[in-house]
């Protein structure tokens, strides 16, 4: 398949699920997991058809063009490095997935890549084709949470595992969660819970904030969560300027912000939208009188807007490469990525790599590609050692319990290398940041 060669929706194949021996109607209708010996269907999704040869296929669909292209291209590199390491039995993969030798369950993992353009329909078409034509046993990828939500529904309908990779909306593992999807990155609520105490400590209480919010599920999730965590400290929202995804001109929104009397600009935009809006905010003189905050920072942002505009800016991120200074596994990832691609990895590449490794770990523990058994493996609650430290999956909503990294932009004079844009302010443990599993309406649905 050529990247982006997706022109029309493939018909969704109806799968004959062989449920002989399951016989517990209540469990099937409520989605309750049966014991593994009873629940494992003989044929489900692309299993076993997609596993009968010497290799298996997985599909990656990520934005390679459009406003989120920089993040998507980097996500692709992290994914490709993980596939290379998985098939060669690299030490780093085996540290995260100790049962791995080469490939997964002894089979080589082949993959295809398609361009989602950050559009839900385009992503669903591409992933549908990977499933129907290639019998993909796992699909992955997104940068837009709207894509993640749409692909969640596809994965559940087709009974094929999905790894969202980059998705910041609370909805992905909240009201739009599904049994067949697992998210490893931090998200709006945990980002807000991690950064709010640092903002209050650094900037004080009773601040007036202006928000610049992209008008879709990610933007509204982040803005709402940050407001929730800053309100107890007396922070107020002076204006929330809601802008379309991919806007070329932010002047009307920024004019309202400039005249609002706000002391802090909280910019929720991501990708090229973040770059454009920050540069235009500087042109409007906003950054000279307001403190900029990026609560869910976009990869490559400092490089693209210049470190001068990002100095002192508080952010959250999934990973920052200087974690390798104190974490040997993080150093191994940074060094191998840098050796292959010639620059330090950004967080979208990291989460792509880590989700592949965690998927391999789940399959190896399940000892089968049968998604029913793999889901049970994910949901077992075991602790997994990673380059973020120990993590584990929360079975109620399929969200990874993992730390959130709070950073602050460095002054140019303090940068030790061209990639040294941020200092790590805090690495906040994940469990205390997360909402209760049912707080956002997650109902995972059936496994068979």
Reduced to 3 states, what is the DSSP secondary structure of residue 54?
coil
> Domain 189-318+405-433 has what CATH class?
alpha beta
Domain-wise residue ranges, the chain = 25-187+327-402, 189-318+405-433
Residue 237 contacts by C-beta under 8 Å, 6 or more apart in sequence?
209, 210, 211, 227
- For the chain, the 3-state helix, strand and coil shares in percent, each to the nearest 5, are 45, 20, 40
Cβ 402 vs Cβ 388: under 8 Å? yes
Query: What are the CA-CA distances from residue 10 to residues 59, 350, 377 (Å)?
Result: 15, 31, 31
Cβ 138 vs Cβ 359: under 8 Å? yes
Please give the pLDDT value at position 162. 98
Residue 367 contacts by C-beta under 8 Å, 6 or more apart in sequence?
105, 373
- E strand or H helix that includes residue 113: strand 108-115
Rounded to two decimals, the pTM is 0.90
Reduced to 3 states, what is the DSSP secondary structure of residue 263?
coil
Please give the pLDDT value at position 7. 34
Please give the pLDDT value at position 32. 44
Report the chain's terminal Cα–Cα distance, integer Å: 29
Reduced to 3 states, what is the DSSP secondary structure of residue 2?
coil
Are 25-187+327-402 and 189-318+405-433 in the same CATH fold?
Answer: yes
294 φ/ψ angles, rounded to the nearest 5 degrees: -120, 95
> Domain 25-187+327-402 has what CATH class?
alpha beta
Please give the pLDDT value at position 435. 97
Reduced to 3 states, what is the DSSP secondary structure of residue 200?
helix
Bridge partners, residue 404, by sequence: 428
Of 329, 324, 321, the closest CA to residue 302 belongs to 321
Cβ 162 vs Cβ 181: under 8 Å? yes
- E strand or H helix that includes residue 268: none
Task: Provide the residue count of the chain.
Answer: 448
Q: What is the pLDDT along the chain (448 residues), one digit of tens a residue?
A: 433 343 333 333 333 333 333 333 333 333 444 444 444 568 999 999 999 999 999 999 999 999 999 999 999 999 999 999 999 999 999 999 999 999 999 999 999 999 999 999 999 999 999 999 999 999 999 999 999 999 999 999 999 999 999 999 999 999 999 999 999 999 999 999 999 999 999 999 999 999 999 999 999 999 999 999 999 999 999 999 999 999 999 999 999 999 999 999 999 999 999 999 999 999 999 999 999 999 999 999 999 999 999 999 999 999 999 999 999 999 999 999 999 999 999 999 999 999 999 999 999 999 999 999 999 999 999 999 999 999 999 999 999 999 999 999 999 999 999 999 999 999 999 999 999 999 999 999 999 9
Q: Where are the alpha helices (DSSP H) in 265-343?
A: 272-283, 286-289, 301-305, 307-310, 328-341
Buried b (16+ CB within 10 A) or exposed e, 420-440: ebbeebbbbebeebbbebeeb
Asked if the bond preceding 115 is cis, omega within 30° of 0, the reply is no
């Amino acid at each position: 398949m050529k990247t982006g060669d997706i022109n029309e929706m493939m018909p969704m194949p109806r799968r004959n699920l062989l449920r002989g021996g399951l016989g517990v109607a209540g469990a099937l209708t409520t989605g309750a997991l049966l014991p593994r010996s009873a629940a494992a269907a003989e044929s489900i999704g692309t299993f076993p058809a997609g596993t009968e040869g010497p290799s298996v296929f997985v599909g990656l669909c990520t934005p390679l063009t459009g406003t989120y292209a920089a993040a998507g291209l980097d996500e692709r590199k992290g994914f490709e490095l993980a596939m290379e390491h998985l098939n060669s039995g690299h030490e780093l993969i085996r540290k995260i997935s100790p049962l791995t030798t080469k490939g997964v369950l002894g089979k080589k993992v082949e993959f295809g890549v398609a361009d989602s353009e950050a559009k839900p329909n385009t992503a669903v078409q591409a992933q549908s084709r990977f499933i129907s034509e290639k019998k993909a046993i796992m699909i992955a990828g997104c940068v837009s949470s709207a894509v993640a939500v749409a692909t969640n529904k596809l994965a559940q309908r087709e009974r094929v595992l999905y790894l969202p990779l980059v998705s910041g909306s609370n909805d992905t593992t909240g009201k739009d969660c599904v049994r067949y999807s697992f998210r490893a990155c931090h998200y709006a609520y945990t980002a807000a819970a991690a950064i709010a105490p640092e903002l209050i400590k650094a900037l004080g209480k009773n601040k007036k904030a202006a928000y610049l919010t992209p008008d879709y599920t990610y933007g509204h999730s982040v803005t709402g969560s940050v407001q929730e965590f800053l309100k107890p400290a007396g922070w107020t929202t002076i204006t929330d300027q809601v802008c379309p995804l991919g806007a070329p001109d932010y002047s009307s929104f920024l004019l309202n912000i400039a005249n609002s009397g706000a002391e802090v600009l909280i910019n929720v935009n991501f990708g090229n939208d973040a770059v454009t809006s920050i540069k235009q905010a500087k042109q409007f003189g906003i950054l000279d009188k307001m403190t900029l905050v990026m609560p869910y920072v976009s990869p490559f942002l400092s490089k693209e807007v210049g470190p001068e505009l990002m100095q002192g800016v508080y952010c959250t991120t999934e990973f920052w490469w200087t974690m390798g200074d104190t974490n040997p596994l993080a150093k191994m990832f940074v060094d191998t990525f840098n050796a292959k691609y010639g620059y330090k990895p950004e967080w979208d590449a990291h989460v792509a790599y880590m989700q592949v490794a965690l998927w391999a770990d789940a399959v190896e523990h399940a000892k089968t590609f049968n998604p029913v058994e793999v889901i049970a493996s994910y949901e077992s609650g075991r602790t997994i050692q990673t380059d973020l430290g120990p993590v584990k999956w929360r079975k109620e909503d399929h969200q990874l319990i993992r730390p959130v990294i709070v950073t602050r932009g460095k002054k140019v004079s303090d940068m030790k290398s061209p990639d040294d844009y941020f200092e790590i302010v805090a690495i906040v443990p994940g469990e205390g940041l997360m909402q209760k599993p049912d707080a956002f309406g997650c109902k995972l649905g059936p496994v068979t």
